[in-house]
Chains A and B, each alone.
Chain A
Amino acid sequence: MEYFIILSTVLFCLGVLGVLLRKNAIVILGCVELMLNSVNLLLAAFSAYSGDGNGQLLVFFIMVVAAAEVAVGLAIIAMMYRNTKSVDVSIFNKLRG
């Protein structure tokens, strides 16, 4: 088993746990970034391992998309804070069925 796989898996699981357990929206967004980047790391590692540059190219795409996502996500969080003076996701349940 290569170490980079274990490292990526650990990072990804930390990200998932962060999303699940934390209440702060900004931290959750950070954890999402962590998950994305663990995947990026894995892609880059596999790419180098197999001598194929395509994986590294894909990493750039993911980074661009992640940047856009953070921009949107932070804007949403800013609006949430402006309306409720809080970034605690557990109080946002207006969409309850």
Chain B
Amino acid sequence: MENLVYAIILLPLAGFIINGLFGKNLPKMFVGSLATLVVFASFVITTSLFFSFNNDSAPVVIKAFEWFRVNGIQVNFGFQVDQLSLMMVMIITGIGSLIHLYSIGYMSHDKGFYKFFTYLNLFIFSMLLLVLGSNYLILFIGWEGVGLCSYLLIGFWYTNEEYGKAARKAFIMNRIGDLGLLIGIFAIAAHVNAIDYLSVAQNASSFELDGTPIIFITACLFIGATGKSAQVPLYTWLPDAMAGPTPVSALIHAATMVTAGIYLVVRSNFLFVLAPTVQDGILLIGFLTAALAGFYALRQNDIKKVLAYSTVSQLGFMFIALGLGAYSTAMFHVMTHAFFKALLFLGAGSVIHAMSNEQDMRFMGGLKKYIPITHITFLIGTLAISGFPLLSGMISKDEILVAAFAKNPIYWVMLFILAAITATYMFRLYYLTFHGEFRGTEDQKHHLHESPTNMTLPLIVLAVLSVVGGFINLPHFIGHGHYAKLMDWLKPALTEESFKQMENTLSGVPFNTEMILLGATVLMFFTVWFFVRNTYVKKQKRALPEESYTGWEKLSAKKLFVDEIYNAMIIRPFEEAGKAALMFEKVILDPIVNFIGLGAADSGRAAKRLQNGNVENYVLIMSLAVGIVLIVNFLLK
């Protein structure tokens, strides 16, 4: 067990080291295969561990060594294997190896091939550290590691200045969240005198329910989560992060890294359950994020930007589930979202590959017959995220809707509208890309081709997962006593209070009501599908350039001018303050410093006249001085 866990973590690290040190001189095939195989090996080992765990298995903590001990707090470098971390590791290594495989094809013509795989392996290693660490500090190492990899990969094509700026934006936005997380960890250490999960969970009961300390701690942790998981107000980095190569968008900015915030909250359920105020805050932020991002996605023209905002919006859904206390629902949506969003991004990558690096949907259209495998898999992804009955996305999203209804029917209505918006922009994307006439150049049309097998294979696997992925956690009215397996599966990772809260939320809706709600969402899905199809296929509505939109469409295309507002409110004042500080330095500090320096030089230049090299002169001065001393001495007597 112990060795297996080490192997899971160290294999990607080994891949990173080998590729990083020697990759430049190794053949591309070897670099790509090695990077893919180490991640796949981790996945296989995880699967074997996964089957040795059941619903009752207690968490296994493996201590590698004592890291340090300060002021009575002992910090071990160790790993915690339980149902939650195993689930995350499964997603990371599983989706990760598929995306590695895909990247071999996607990046085959790139100069930085070995560098790309080095970064990817480092990312997998950091992410595993994040989810497997047995205390908050190791989580933080992984947290920073994935932030670094994200930065490196967003700016992978660093010769483009815009991409470099996007990378820096992501890095700085994340840093704000990281500060919150760090302060949260310090506060935990100060209050509980421990930072490993098990001890903190045990001592969490010493916190007063909804008292100031617990609210402060959970709020800080949540700020960390908003940074990494791109929630309001720190979400603007994620759409810009699409500057990176598409597999990166799929792996890091859709399937795994951005779910770290969800993981953090679920992992800290023993703290969040004590702070209902913060849970309500999470709910609010989740709603805001889901609504804003969904709105922006309606009128984006860049295929990856739509998917990026859709990711932000879906992350909002997950935080809504967390705010409702439905931890397993959030994790369920993390999993299904990982399947269909990775699929959609990889599909988009395949489209971009076929279109000779064109990302603007205005110049696509009619791709259905040129790239059939990509088309079918992309359609499955679209149906899954939009809520086609019994596909994975529908089942997990429905669970969130039911949980919301149990809390307050208003929440359900809001989520219902958000789900309708999701379906709207996804079908718009699908029809603009794959249906209608081809609108690109003749040159592009000539080059249209289906991607190679190592790119379509991950698409097919992910498409299958997107279809069947929901069945592991069927709603209770289908599974006859096997309902909501995930809830029982995650039970050991939750405290009793969290579990009780979750059970109340998830079973708070009577069967008949639930059926009606389900019927309503299905009806909504088909209505939206019909209308979008009508608009973009029958009426041949086209996407317009951003500038030519008016009214709400302009607001959507321009993202409510949030970037501009941030610019005006935060970045501008900083720049102005910088300029003011520069003026202060130039006008006040510089003269003072120069006066001191030049004064010393001038006085030295004046004093050097005394040293004229003439012995007589020295003797004269000496004699005079002695004379003066004698006279003064005489007078003072």
Interface residues of A (CB under 8 A from B): 16, 19-20, 23, 89-90, 92-97
A66 to B190, CA, bound (A): 79
The stretch among B99-107, B227-235, B614-622 that forms the contact with chain A is B614-622
A19 to B616, CA, bound (A): 8
Question: Which of A19, A23, A92, A94 is the one whose CB lies under 8 Å from B619?
Answer: A19
* CB within 8 Å of A: which B597-637 residues: 608-616, 619-620, 623
* CB within 8 Å of A: which B561-617 residues: 608-616
Question: Which of A16, A19, A20, A94 is the one whose CB lies under 8 Å from B613?
Answer: A94
B608 pairs with A90, CB closer than 8 A: no
Instruction: Report whether over half of chain B's contact residues are helix, strand or loop; otherwise say mixed.
Output: helix
- New A-B contacts (12) at CB < 8 Å, excluding given A19-B619, A89-B615: A16-B623, A23-B616, A89-B614, A90-B616, A92-B615, A93-B612, A94-B613, A95-B611, A95-B613, A96-B611, A96-B614, A97-B610
A96 to B577, CA, bound (A): 51
A-B contact count (CB 8 A): 31
A9 to B609, CA, bound (A): 33
B623 pairs with A97, CB closer than 8 A: no
- Give the chain B neighbours of A94 by CB distance below 8 A: 613
A23 to B623, CA, bound (A): 17
From residue B563, how far is it (CB to closest CB) to chain A in Å?
Answer: 64
From residue B152, how far is it (CB to closest CB) to chain A in Å?
Answer: 58
A20 pairs with B619, CB closer than 8 A: yes
From residue B615, how far is it (CB to closest CB) to chain A in Å?
Answer: 5
Chain B residues bordering chain A, tally (CB within 8 A): 12
Question: Which of B608, B615, B616, B619 is the one whose CB lies under 8 Å from A97?
Answer: B608
A92 to B608, CA, bound (A): 17
Instruction: Report whether over half of chain A's contact residues are helix, strand or loop; otherwise say mixed.
Output: loop
- Give the chain B neighbours of A97 by CB distance below 8 A: 608-613
Q: List 23 A-B contacts (CB under 8 A).
A: A19-B619, A20-B616, A20-B619, A20-B620, A23-B616, A89-B614, A89-B615, A89-B616, A90-B616, A92-B613, A92-B615, A93-B613, A93-B614, A94-B613, A95-B613, A96-B611, A96-B612, A96-B613, A97-B608, A97-B609, A97-B610, A97-B611, A97-B612
From residue A20, how far is it (CB to closest CB) to chain B in Å?
Answer: 6
Residue of A at shortest CB range from B620? A20
From residue A24, how far is it (CB to closest CB) to chain B in Å?
Answer: 12
Residue of A at shortest CB range from B617? A93
A19 to B619, CA, bound (A): 8
- Give the chain A neighbours of B616 by CB distance below 8 A: 20, 23, 89-90
Residue of B at shortest CB range from A93? B613
A95 to B618, CA, bound (A): 12
A94 to B614, CA, bound (A): 8
Residue of B at shortest CB range from A95? B613
